[in-house]
Structures are given as C-alpha cells and as structure tokens.
C-alpha cells in the first residue's frame, strides 16, 4: 500500500511548542479530539508552522490530570497531526450510484448533498411523520448530544439513538437503585478497601486519569487493600492485593453470592439497612439461594475466594467500589448485575461517607460561568419544540416519549432517571426490517460505524440495505458508508473553531476556545456547521443563528464577561486563565450521609433492595414487566449455562471496550499507535495456546456459533486458560506503515461477528446485550480478509 497521490503525511516536530523551529509559527489552544468527536477532556497546545500542524502537547493552563502545569498527553493525543493528515481522509461529498453495499459512489457538491438530504427529510416528514427520522451516534459528545438532539427536536423526532453498550445502562440503573449516590471514591486517601469491578482506567481516558491511577498506587503504599475483579489482568490489576479472574458475563452471579455472604454472616450495616434500604428483609430471604458454591460453578472463581472477598467487603471500612462498563453495560442481564453490585455498596454502609463512595471534597465555584452546552439542559436542547401527545400528558412523560420507536429504557423512566430521550441503535436497526408504520425511513449515522460497534454486522448490513434514505458524516470512510446514499466529509476538530469549554481548578478557572489551526482539507466541513446548514434548509434558521455557528458561541459566552472576539485575539491563543485569590484556594468539606436528599426520587426515599421502582412496571419492549428482586440470567452461551454448546465451543470469548491506542473502533490509522499494535490480536493463556499447537504471533481462527474471525495470538499469563480477550474495530488501514484495514464480516477481524444478537436476549430495562460467547480455535495459515475500501485524493 502507498499513500494516495497528493495526500502525504505532514512532517512531525518532537520538540516543545516554545522550541519549535522558527518561521511562521503559531501556538494555539485546542481541545483534544482523540478520545472522541468534540470532546473537551484535555486542553492542548498545537504548533502550526507555515500552515502545517506539526506538534501537539498538553496545555499547562488547562489543568489536565487534575492540576495545572502538566503537558502530558496519551499516545492518541500525541498522534493528533497524523489524524489530520491521514491519507485516507474523506475530502468531498459523495453520492451512491450503485446498490447499497456495492461501494459505488461519485463526487458531488455540498449544495447537491445538503439539498438531497433536506428533500429526503421533508419527504419522510410529510409521508410518514417526523418521528421516522433517527440519528445514530457512536459515542456521547457535545456535537452529537446537543446539536443532534437540537436538530431532531426542531424536526419533530425524539429518536436520538444510543448504542446501548456504554455508561448510560449502568448510570441509569444506579440512579434507579441508589439515587444520587456516587459510585466513585471521593476521598481515596481515607479508603481502606478499594474494589475495582470491571474498571479499566489504564485504558479509558488515560490522560484524564493519570492522577487518579497514581493516587491509587500511593494509597496502596499507605496500606489500602485493593481487589481487582475482571477477566484479564492489566497494569493496575498487577498492583492489586487480590485479582479475581471472573469469567466474562458472570458478574451478576458473583454479586449475588457476595450479598448472600454479607447478609447471611451478619456483616451488613444494621442501622443503614433499617433506615435507608427498601425491602431489606425480602432481599435477605431472596439471596439465600445464591451461595458461593452455586456462583463458583458459574464464575470459575474458587469458593474460598468468593467467601474471602465477600467477608473483606463486609468488614473492612470504609470500602469504595469503582465500577466499569464491563458488567453493567455489556451483559444481557446488566441491569440486575448492576443493581446487585450497587446494593453491596449500600448495605455495607459505604455510601456518602469519607473514604467510601462519593463524599468528595468540593472545589470552590468557578470564577466565571458559560452557558452549558452539555447534558441536562432542556432549554438549549429545545425539547420544547416537541409536542406532547395525549399519551405523554396522560403518563406525565416528557414530550415525545410516546413517539420513541425503540426506547432504550422503559418509557416511565424518562421523566426522572434518564438524561435524555433515546432509542437504542440495535433495536432501531432491527426495526428497519419490520412492518411498523413508524419504522425508520431516514437515518443519519453521525460519526459512527454501526458495522463495527453493533453486534452482528452481517445482520446490520442486511437491515441498512433496506433503509429508504441513509446519510453519514465522518472523517474516514468506514464500512457503514457503503450502505449510505450520501457521505459527507467531516473536518477534524483541528480544522474548525466551533467549541469552547471551561475547566475549574483550585487555582482558578480556565476558558479554552478551539482556535482553528489550518483550513479544512479538501471540502470537509465541521459537524457543527453541517447541522446549522441543514437547519437553515429545513426552515429552522431563526433558531439556528441563521446558520452561523459563531452565534452559538456568542450565546454560550453570555454572562461570562468574555466576548468571542476577545477569545480569538492572538494574545489569548493559549486560552484564558482567571486565577483564584490564594486565600480562597481551599477545598470545601461536604456534608456526609445526605440520604434524604440522595434517595429523594426513590420509592419510600430509600435504596431499592426490593425494587418497587422496577417491579411491575412495563419493560422497554412495551410488552413485559420488570421484576422486584435481582436475578442472574447469564450470557446466551456460557460454560455453565449451555453445556451442549460448550461441548463444541469450549472457550469463552470477550473483548475490551476501551483501549489506550484506539478510541472504540477508530484510530487504527495512526502510525504512532498502530506501530505499537500493528495487528488484530487475541490474548490467550500460554498453556491453552500450547494445547492447540499455537505459538505467540500465529494467526488463529476464532469461531463461535454466530461467525468467525482471524486474529493474531498474543500469549499472556494474566488471563484464565478458559478465556480469550480481543479488541474490536480493525477496519482502518495505515498506509504509512503499509498495514491494511480488515473486513467486518466472517473471515475478517471484527469480533462483533462472534456475538449473539437475538433481541429476545437483550436486557429488558437497559437494552444491554451480551459481549460474551463461546468459541473454538485453531491455527490458521491466512491473514484476515482485508477491507476493500480505497480512498484516492479524498475520494472513494
């Protein structure tokens, strides 16, 4: 493979910004985009020399990693110039000229593209109703959550769509079970037992959590005991006192067994349970059946270790539990698993206490405010543009709830417990192939590749091919683009100036504006501008700053004391920092045990052990009802649950959700990251590999009852002999290193082809689905099938 003509990678400068080679040099602030579209986690300083983006480093004013002065970035952040100058960028709008899936497109103008999309949207609204338009998003980010929702609401559709595999599943379950209590240790310096359950901060948000991770190690030196529960050992797990190598997808069984021990051996906090736990006696009776002996057969964890960690959780105080999305967001019984784990925190009396969960010291108020472009702000999202139906009014639902075609959560919960209205991507995809009168007619796949992020890409492709009209916007061509009618080229965040955010620190408050580094390559445009352009074409211009996103920025700055012109002045290229007076730099001690406040929305103002908030309520299918007490279901295929399948497929397979060298399924095109991990890998215990005649670096075929992939074996002692772990999302090529992208169907490297995608198996509260299956393996002589996508001069 060679770089496309006219699209060579830029030279990169490794020195600090202030020491960059002299010439026409500018250093500007930019929020790092490398952890997702339009994120504002890490502030950076970007060096542009003679119009070329050459170098990036952390902005010491922004306070990355929890404090001022740091210039660090993660591997992805340091690779930002390579994202901008990637030779496989989409640079021009394109229109499908063949059958969907054929990959036959031709270049068109922006006017033709936007007019075509607007015509399709107007037609769908007139013929089928505006609720037949859906926006699929791969990851929560401001431009998607805010601009996407704003556009939908003006159009008349509530159907913003979430993937159903990250954060929202666990967070909503938490809100319904322990209310406003936190599931993160607020004062880890006072914690005596830290339980990290499915928590993977070594890989997710690396640069935002370096301080947290380092502090965890410091506290271990102090004497804090750490238990790490996850299938595969990782960096921080190696520094834990106890590693619990649980089988993927069996966390619910372990949690129920821990509740059995804590309650059965009288290790719970009597005062808290008597006063603040709803139906504790019913829970106590219910968990008698879930013994450690029962759980051991399911989880693969020795009985003695289950008793050991349960007794530690019941006796060592304060205990803090750090949870991750491995157990609540990506298992088909994730709701009850999460409920059980949150109940462990609650009944041991570790909520909202120093060293337990929550109860963190508070920063002083920011030195100034801007309008909130983020979540929980109906006035900016313009939810008032949706008209409440008689059904919405009857049930007290937010306007539009009744028109959710595929609600991610049961409709009753959108009023008080979900941060926005949402349909769920996999259910929406299935609905395309239905006879429902309000089935999806138009879909905008915004910065998402459904064929890599959803289970069973074969089924996803089959459904997308039947859609009336489908358009997408992204920086790089992905497999989902092949099933679109229009493909729009997105510029990177480094080529636009549509975003600002503040960071409040003890020393003061930082305000950072994205300062456009270079002009957008080709004809690419920012996501913000395209939403505004479409809004104008749809007749919404008056509410969309007449298409000028600078008007949006000015609205956000109202009341801040700053103007947009001031922020764009050269002297503020690195951002603005307003220092706090030294005498005011004092962390604020919180009130503790604010249970009346934290549980205010819960039945009887108590933690839901006997779940009256769930029990008897209609589930998210609108057909069944939810139960009152936690149960264990398990993955559709498991060693203990489906022995007849295990006879042919004897190994357990799962994949990591976040990784330090990629952002979900993106970023494998970055040379500096790809050279570290050049091939799609699967980690396997050396003993298991030896039994199959597999050596480190061999290609192996991994086959489940649903499909098969080819991955490169990576021998690793820190994984159970019965478990395999991989990473999804290898569709991007890296031309600088002459490394291909791989296909997303059977024979490729996309591990989502291995998983069950039967809607009957999805979680009935959160629509979570299994990321665990059973597989068989063998040595394989061929590499995985390559992706056939080829971009030349920005065109397909």
Grade residue 778 by pLDDT with cuts at 50, 70 and 90.
Answer: very high
Give the Cβ contact number of residue 784 at 10 Å: 24
- Among left, alpha and beta (phi > 0; psi -120 to 50; other), residue 36 is left
Euclidean distance between CA atoms 688 and 578, whole angstroms: 58
- Among left, alpha and beta (phi > 0; psi -120 to 50; other), residue 615 is beta
Contact assessment for residue 590 and residue 528, using Cβ atoms and an 8 Å cutoff: no
Question: What pLDDT score does 610 carry?
Answer: 98
pLDDT of 108 strictly over 50: yes
Euclidean distance between CA atoms 351 and 359, whole angstroms: 8
Q: What is the mean pLDDT of residues 591-609?
A: 97
C-alpha 626 chain-centroid distance: 26
Grade residue 20 by pLDDT with cuts at 50, 70 and 90.
Answer: very low
Q: Summarize pLDDT for 395-431 with one digit per residue, the tens.
A: 999 999 999 999 999 999 999 888 788 999 999 999 9
pLDDT of 1 strictly over 50: no
Closest CA to 783 of 751, 729, 747: 747
Question: What pLDDT score does 13 carry?
Answer: 32
Question: What pLDDT score does 695 carry?
Answer: 98
Give the Cβ contact number of residue 104 at 10 Å: 13
Q: What percent of the chain has pLDDT over 90?
A: 75
Question: What pLDDT score does 796 carry?
Answer: 65
Q: CA 161, 34, 442: angle at the middle one, nearest 5? A: 25
Q: What is the mean pLDDT of residues 681-685?
A: 98
pLDDT of 19 strictly over 80: no
Q: What is the mean pLDDT of residues 337-351?
A: 97
pLDDT of 14 strictly over 70: no
pTM summary value: 0.93
Tokens 């291909």 correspond to: 740
Contact assessment for residue 44 and residue 27, using Cβ atoms and an 8 Å cutoff: no
Task: Using DSSP bridges, classify how beta strands 225-229 and 193-197 pair: parallel, antiparallel or unpaired.
Answer: parallel
pLDDT of 21 strictly over 70: no
Question: What pLDDT score does 209 carry?
Answer: 60
Grade residue 379 by pLDDT with cuts at 50, 70 and 90.
Answer: very low
Residue with more model confidence, 597 or 793:
597
pLDDT of 6 strictly over 50: no
Give me the residues paired with residue 425 across strands. none
Q: What is the mean pLDDT of residues 376-395?
A: 70
Question: What pLDDT score does 367 carry?
Answer: 96
Question: What pLDDT score does 205 carry?
Answer: 67
pLDDT of 380 strictly over 60: no
- Among left, alpha and beta (phi > 0; psi -120 to 50; other), residue 427 is alpha
Please, which residues have CB within 8 angstroms of residue 454's CB and are 6 or more apart in sequence? 163, 425, 426, 429, 460, 752, 757
Euclidean distance between CA atoms 430 and 434, whole angstroms: 7
Task: Using DSSP bridges, classify how beta strands 277-278 and 160-162 pair: parallel, antiparallel or unpaired.
Answer: unpaired
Please, which residues have CB within 8 angstroms of residue 288's CB and are 6 or more apart in sequence? 260, 264
Closest CA to 431 of 453, 400, 408: 408
Question: What pLDDT score does 793 carry?
Answer: 64
pLDDT-wise least confident of 46-55, 210-219, 743-752: 210-219
Q: What is the mean pLDDT of residues 643-664?
A: 91
Question: What pLDDT score does 15 carry?
Answer: 32
Cis peptide, bond prior to residue 354, ω within 30 of zero: no
Question: What pLDDT score does 600 carry?
Answer: 97
pLDDT-wise least confident of 112-126, 366-380, 553-567, 770-784: 366-380
Q: What percent of the chain has pLDDT over 70?
A: 92
The total number of residues shown for the chain amounts to 796
Q: Summarize pLDDT for 455-494 with one digit per residue, the tens.
A: 999 999 999 999 999 999 999 999 999 999 999 999 999 9
Question: What pLDDT score does 208 carry?
Answer: 65
pLDDT-wise least confident of 13-27, 83-97, 227-241, 601-615: 13-27
Euclidean distance between CA atoms 700 and 707, whole angstroms: 14
Q: Which two tokens stand for residue 62?
A: 């922004």
Q: Which two tokens stand for residue 381?
A: 């999202």
Euclidean distance between CA atoms 657 and 5, whole angstroms: 35
- Kindly calculate the radius of gyration of the chain based on its CA atoms and give it in whole angstroms: 26
Give the Cβ contact number of residue 721 at 10 Å: 14
Question: What pLDDT score does 176 carry?
Answer: 96
Euclidean distance between CA atoms 477 and 669, whole angstroms: 11
Question: What pLDDT score does 16 carry?
Answer: 34
Please, which residues have CB within 8 angstroms of residue 193's CB and are 6 or more apart in sequence? 224, 225, 226, 227, 312, 313, 316, 317, 318, 319, 320
Question: What pLDDT score does 396 carry?
Answer: 93
C-alpha pair distances (Å), 441 with each of 135, 139, 767: 11, 22, 22
Q: What is the mean pLDDT of residues 231-251?
A: 92
pLDDT-wise least confident of 13-22, 462-471, 520-529: 13-22
Q: Which two tokens stand for residue 297?
A: 């057969």
Question: What pLDDT score does 214 carry?
Answer: 65
Q: What is the mean pLDDT of residues 346-372?
A: 93
Euclidean distance between CA atoms 12 and 16, whole angstroms: 12
C-alpha 433 chain-centroid distance: 27
Calculate the average pLDDT of the chain.
90
Domains, the chain, with CATH or none:
109-167+384-489 (3.40.50.740), 179-359 (3.40.228.10), 643-779 (2.40.40.20)
Q: What is the DSSP string of 575-631?
A: -EEEEPPGGG--PBPPP---HHHHTTTSGGGSEESS-TTTTT-B-TTSSSB--SS--
Contact assessment for residue 27 and residue 45, using Cβ atoms and an 8 Å cutoff: yes
Grade residue 147 by pLDDT with cuts at 50, 70 and 90.
Answer: confident
Residue with more model confidence, 716 or 200:
716
C-alpha pair distances (Å), 86 with each of 83, 90, 391, 569, 667: 5, 10, 50, 30, 10
Grade residue 577 by pLDDT with cuts at 50, 70 and 90.
Answer: very high
C-alpha 421 chain-centroid distance: 17
Grade residue 378 by pLDDT with cuts at 50, 70 and 90.
Answer: very low
Question: What pLDDT score does 453 carry?
Answer: 87
Contact assessment for residue 431 and residue 468, using Cβ atoms and an 8 Å cutoff: no
Q: What is the mean pLDDT of residues 1-23?
A: 37
How far apart are the two ends of the chain, measured CA to CA in Å? 15
Euclidean distance between CA atoms 691 and 279, whole angstroms: 50
Signed CA dihedral, 158, 474, 77, 717: sign only: positive
Grade residue 2 by pLDDT with cuts at 50, 70 and 90.
Answer: very low
- Among left, alpha and beta (phi > 0; psi -120 to 50; other), residue 794 is left
Euclidean distance between CA atoms 703 and 774, whole angstroms: 8
Euclidean distance between CA atoms 87 and 733, whole angstroms: 10
Q: Which two tokens stand for residue 698?
A: 């061999």
- Among left, alpha and beta (phi > 0; psi -120 to 50; other), residue 693 is left
Question: What pLDDT score does 93 carry?
Answer: 97
Question: What pLDDT score does 212 carry?
Answer: 65
C-alpha pair distances (Å), 201 with each of 168, 208, 250, 551, 658: 18, 9, 21, 37, 9
Q: Summarize pLDDT for 300-335 with one digit per residue, the tens.
A: 999 999 999 999 999 999 999 988 877 767 788 999
pLDDT of 87 strictly over 60: yes
Grade residue 391 by pLDDT with cuts at 50, 70 and 90.
Answer: very high
């Amino acid at each position: 493979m060679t770089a496309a003509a006219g699209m060579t990678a830029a030279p990169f400068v490794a020195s600090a910004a202030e020491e960059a080679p002299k010439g026409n040099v500018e250093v500007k602030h930019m929020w790092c985009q490398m952890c997702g579209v339009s994120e504002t986690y890490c502030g950076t300083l970007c060096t542009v020399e003679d119009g070329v983006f050459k170098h990036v480093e952390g902005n010491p004013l922004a306070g990355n990693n929890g404090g001022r002065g740091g210039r660090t970035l993660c591997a992805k952040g340091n690779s930002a110039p390579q994202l901008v100058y990637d030779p496989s960028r989409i640079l021009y709008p394109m229109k499908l000229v063949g059958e969907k899936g054929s990959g036959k497109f031709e270049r068109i103008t922006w006017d033709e593209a936007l007019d075509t999309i607007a015509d399709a949207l107007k037609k769908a609204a007139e013929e089928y109703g505006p609720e037949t338009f859906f926006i699929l998003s791969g990851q929560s980010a401001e431009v998607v959550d805010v601009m996407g929702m704003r556009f939908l609401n003006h159009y008349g559709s509530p159907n913003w769509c979430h993937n159903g595999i990250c954060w929202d599943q666990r967070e909503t379950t938490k809100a319904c079970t322990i209310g406003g209590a936190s599931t993160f240790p607020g004062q880890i310096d006072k914690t005596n037992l830290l339980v990290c359950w499915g928590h993977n901060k070594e890989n997710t948000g690396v640069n935002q959590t370096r301080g947290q991770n380092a502090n965890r190690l410091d506290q271990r030196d102090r004497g804090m005991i750490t238990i790490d529960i996850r299938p595969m050992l990782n960096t921080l797990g190696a520094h834990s006192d106890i590693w619990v190598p649980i089988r993927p997808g069996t966390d619910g069984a372990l949690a129920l067994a821990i509740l059995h021990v804590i309650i059965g051996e009288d290790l719970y906090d009597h005062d808290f349970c008597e006063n603040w736990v709803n139906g504790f006696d019913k829970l106590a009776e219910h968990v008698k059946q879930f013994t450690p002996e029962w759980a051991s057969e399911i989880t693969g964890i020795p009985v003695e270790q289950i008793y050991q960690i349960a007794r530690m959780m019941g006796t060592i105080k304060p205990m803090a539990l750090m949870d991750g999305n491995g157990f609540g967001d990506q298992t088909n019984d994730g709701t009850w698993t999460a409920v059980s784990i949150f109940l462990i925190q609650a009944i041991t009396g570790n909520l909202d206490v120093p060293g337990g969960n929550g109860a963190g010291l508070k920063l002083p108020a920011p030195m100034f405010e801007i309008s909130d472009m983020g979540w929980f702000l109906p006035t900016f999202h313009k939810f008032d543009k949706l008209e409440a139906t008689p059904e919405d009014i009857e049930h007290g639902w937010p306007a539009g709830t009744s028109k959710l075609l595929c609600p991610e959560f049961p409709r009753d919960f959108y009023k008080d417990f979900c941060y926005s209205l949402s349909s769920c991507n996999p259910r929406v995809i299935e609905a395309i192939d239905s006879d429902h009168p309000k089935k999806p007619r138009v879909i905008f796949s915004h910065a998402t590749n459904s064929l890599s992020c959803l289970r069973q890409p074969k089924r996803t492709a089959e459904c997308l091919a039947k859609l009336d009209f489908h358009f997408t916007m992204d920086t790089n061509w992905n497999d989902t683009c092949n099933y679109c009618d229009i493909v729009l080229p997105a510029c990177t965040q480094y080529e636009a100036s549509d975003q600002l955010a503040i960071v409040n620190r003890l020393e003061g408050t930082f305000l950072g504006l994205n300062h456009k580094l270079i002009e957008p390559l080709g004809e690419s445009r920012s996501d913000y501008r395209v939403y505004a352009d479409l809004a104008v074409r749809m007749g919404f211009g008056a509410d969309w700053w007449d298409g000028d996103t600078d008007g949006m920025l000015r609205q956000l700055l109202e009341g801040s004391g700053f103007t947009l012109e001031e922020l764009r002045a050269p002297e503020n290229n690195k951002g603005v920092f307003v220092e706090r007076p030294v005498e005011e730099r004092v962390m604020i001690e919180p009130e503790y045990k604010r249970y009346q406040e934290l549980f205010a929305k819960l039945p009887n103002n108590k933690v839901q052990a006997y779940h009256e908030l769930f029990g008897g309520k209609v589930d998210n299918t609108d057909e069944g009802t939810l139960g009152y007490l936690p149960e264990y279901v398990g993955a559709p295929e498991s060693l203990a649950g489906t022995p007849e399948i295990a006879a042919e497929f004897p190994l357990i397979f799962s994949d990591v959700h976040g990784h330090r060298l990629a952002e979900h399924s993106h970023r494998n095109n970055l040379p500096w990251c790809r050279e570290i991990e050049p091939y799609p890998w699967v980690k396997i215990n050396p003993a298991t590999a030896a039994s199959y005649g597999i050596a480190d670096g061999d290609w192996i075929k991994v086959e489940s009852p649903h499909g098969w992939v080819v991955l490169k074996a990576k021998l690793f002692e820190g994984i159970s002999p019965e478990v395999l772990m991989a990473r999804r999302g290898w569709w991007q090529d890296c031309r600088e290193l002459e490394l291909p992208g791989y296909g997303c169907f059977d024979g490729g490297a996309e591990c989502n082809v291995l998983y069950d995608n039967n809607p009957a198996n999805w979680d009935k509260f959160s629509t979570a689905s299994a990321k665990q299956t059973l597989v068989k393996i063998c040595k394989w002589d061929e590499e995985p099938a390559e992706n056939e996508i080829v971009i030349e001069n920005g065109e397909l």
